[in-house]
Structure 1
């Protein structure tokens, strides 16, 4: 069985993949995210199940569980409070490093208050996303640890690495967009000058280039010749429909937010469309493992996907985006439930640790 590495990077749009020179040298296909921001999107990816996206938490059997049961050593490194163990992202990993310390359980009042623009503006003024990005390890530090853990592990090995360098504000120190410009784009996008728009997109492109270099370093320094697959949790908007970045509380499912690249060196990417749900079955099949019946994804190399579905949950309601070759249907801000195998799943709030909640605020997910 061959080693397999899954790499995800935050906020990478499909139409910007050419800024990633190393990755764009491999076969690339567009993919549709299962969710509209990190937690529901990657929960759906790792679980290959819609219910995980609706709950914004990982549900088994997960990709690492399936790989572990087949004899793989499983390693996960994900430096984001969105990917904390409280949301089950460690499920199935022999080693999982989130780089976030969880405190005691807290309330969800901030998620409710975050829907009010005035309160969001006040919070952003004092705690912009720059505030604690520096508390997270750099992508280089994450990759160095990933290389060490992977090379020390016995094979076959499955590893997932998530990188945050492409997340707004698109860098640290002088590389990042300024706090004032970030605030202006977030709350007064119509007042942006062309030069300010260019400053934001240039910073974004540079961030993608830096992430690409780190990914190349990772793959060059791993023992053996692992199969890798790369994708992103979501994209970012740059004013195409009047909004900037990704703002989860808006439950938007715009094309620029949900269309991301899928890149691989060894897994043949075919078909007209691919959901991030399909990554699990493709990884399992690549390893010679039958995908679990519970998974909603398919191996697009042997089956054709007729539609993609994106679920955007936030505070008990969600938006839905259903896309086929012929049409795209969007339902906004409704009560959403799903019945599968006699079990009902509803979009609802998540209870989470107070410190995790605070870190989510600092990154701009919760106000």
Structure 2
């Protein structure tokens, strides 16, 4: 997929990597090489800190909670919105998606506009017959396995805080032995999450493209191997260990870290250090997966026409920077600032926007620019009201939001400052950070900058009103009057 002048509509390949942080690109050799040869966006943000609150914006160019609320599973449906895949299909694109996350499944409307929408988990189970996982929208549940009973008993005791730190470390030894037994004797995979391994995802992608490829193509591939701080995908690096002792030692570390991270009162610097070291292993594996996917695309697509590769993440991951280990509940930059890389047949003038603020809501605009179509046409095709389109087009900042039960948070981010407003119960909390002087967002400057806070809150009130959450907009209006 070398850089070239486009003579016709290019193939568009979107690769989304679950939980990849902005600052982790430098730890991935292949991805860093792609970024150096393509366009790397320096100020790109997800519009939410978790999968349900980021992908709606990627596919519809609208805020995550546009005229909707999360359902009881914390998912956000996009059935009532028009998607980018529907628009590209109208332009003659063959649209194919290969995903492996229940929050971006057809249940929530993400299959709209795709000629072929493949849930990799179901495909893998049906074709390869190697999986023991069973998918459920109420959670990710494993098929019954007698050897998992001790682990479930231990986790039940942990939940009720019936185990001390010493007992948990002993329990991790027991589960590590069980893991080795399953892996070496019963050939059951050690992966903790019900996600298809990245290398297998690439293999399935190749199989599908060989059968259904035609151009122009819009292909979306979602990679889950970093999810849950990598616990979902340590089987690949484990598989490459040459001795049983090495396998056992790494499994033991994994289990110790996994069990302790379930209890915040047992976290310490040693565990956090181990967790980050294990994260590096998962990053290296994802880098390998990207290299294999790139080689596959080079082989199958480059001879058929111009191609643009877009790599991004749905959100980041927290390592206790603000007390959160994982993701989903806060609007700080370790969760919102994500990489965006364009490589291949993009127009020269697209390079002008790499240093500007952008978010997943701008993804549709970027695609339209690649296609040589104006932004106004995008709003028309996506059925977005002109009032709404103009409001977001003229803003100097970007928006982010999340809604978890009684806690609802919104953020407005500019190049210099970020404002966060949180509705929790009957209370309203505000935060303001100078992200130039304080990029780690540690010093709340609300009291010393009331005018800037008020300006940002007015913008957020308009944003919330346009989304259709009138009661929240009224609460923010009342807060501004006090």
Give the TM-score category using the shorter length. Answer: 0.7 to 0.9
SS at match of 2:340: strand
Q: Is the 8 A contact 2:317 2:326 kept in 1?
A: yes
Structure 1 residue 271 displacement after superposition: 3.3
If asked which structure has higher relative contact order (CA below 8 Å, sep 6+), I would say 1
Q: Which residue is 1:78 aligned to?
A: 99
Q: Which ranges of structure 2 fall in alignment gaps of 5 or more residues?
A: 1-8, 70-75, 123-133, 140-155, 162-167, 169-174, 176-188, 239-249, 426-460, 473-482
Q: Does 1:262 align with 2:340?
A: yes
Structure 1 residue 221 displacement after superposition: 1.3
Aligned residues: 326
Structure 1 residue 79 displacement after superposition: 0.6
Q: Is the 8 A contact 1:61 1:292 kept in 2?
A: no
Matches within 5 A, 1:1-367: 1-25=9-33, 26=35, 27-29=39-41, 30-52=43-65, 55=69, 56-58=76-78, 59-99=80-120, 121=159, 133=192, 135-151=194-210, 152-170=212-230, 171-173=233-235, 174=238, 178-188=254-264, 191-222=266-297, 223-225=300-302, 226-246=307-327, 248=328, 251-266=329-344, 267=346, 268=351, 269-289=353-373, 290-293=377-380, 294=383, 306-315=396-405, 317-334=407-424, 338-340=464-466, 344-345=468-469
The structure where helix makes up a greater share of residues is: 2
Q: 1:253 to 1:119 in 2, by over 3 A?
A: farther
In the alignment, the residues of structure 1 paired with residue 464 and residue 157 of structure 2 have an alpha-carbon distance, to the nearest angstrom, of 33
Structure 1 residue 330 displacement after superposition: 0.6
In the alignment, the residues of structure 2 paired with residue 156 and residue 347 of structure 1 have an alpha-carbon distance, to the nearest angstrom, of 45
In the alignment, the residues of structure 2 paired with residue 325 and residue 104 of structure 1 have an alpha-carbon distance, to the nearest angstrom, of 41
Larger Rg: 2
Structure 1 residue 168 displacement after superposition: 2.0
In the alignment, the residues of structure 2 paired with residue 199 and residue 61 of structure 1 have an alpha-carbon distance, to the nearest angstrom, of 44
In the alignment, the residues of structure 1 paired with residue 136 and residue 50 of structure 2 have an alpha-carbon distance, to the nearest angstrom, of 24
In the alignment, the residues of structure 2 paired with residue 49 and residue 88 of structure 1 have an alpha-carbon distance, to the nearest angstrom, of 15
Q: Which ranges of structure 1 fall in alignment gaps of 5 or more residues?
A: 108-117, 349-367
Q: 1:161 to 1:120 in 2, by over 3 A?
A: farther
Structure 1 residue 277 displacement after superposition: 0.9
In the alignment, the residues of structure 2 paired with residue 320 and residue 217 of structure 1 have an alpha-carbon distance, to the nearest angstrom, of 38
Instruction: Tell me the alpha carbon deviations over residues 163-196 of structure 1, each in whole angstroms, 9 at most, x when there is no partner.
Output: 001112412344776244224234326x534332
SS at match of 1:97: strand
Q: 1:166 to 1:314 in 2, by over 3 A?
A: same
Structure 1 residue 106 displacement after superposition: 7.3
SS at match of 2:321: coil
Structure 1 residue 144 displacement after superposition: 1.6
Structure 1 residue 280 displacement after superposition: 1.7
Q: 1:347 to 1:282 in 2, by over 3 A?
A: farther
SS at match of 1:292: helix
**Post-superposition, which runs of at least 4 consecutive aligned residues in structure 1 deviate over 4 A?**
51-54, 100-107, 130-134, 174-177, 294-298, 334-337, 345-348
Normalising by structure 1, we get a TM-score of 0.77
Q: Is the 8 A contact 2:407 2:423 kept in 1?
A: yes
Aligned-residue CA RMSD in angstroms?
3.5
Q: 1:34 to 1:74 in 2, by over 3 A?
A: same
Normalising by structure 2, we get a TM-score of 0.60
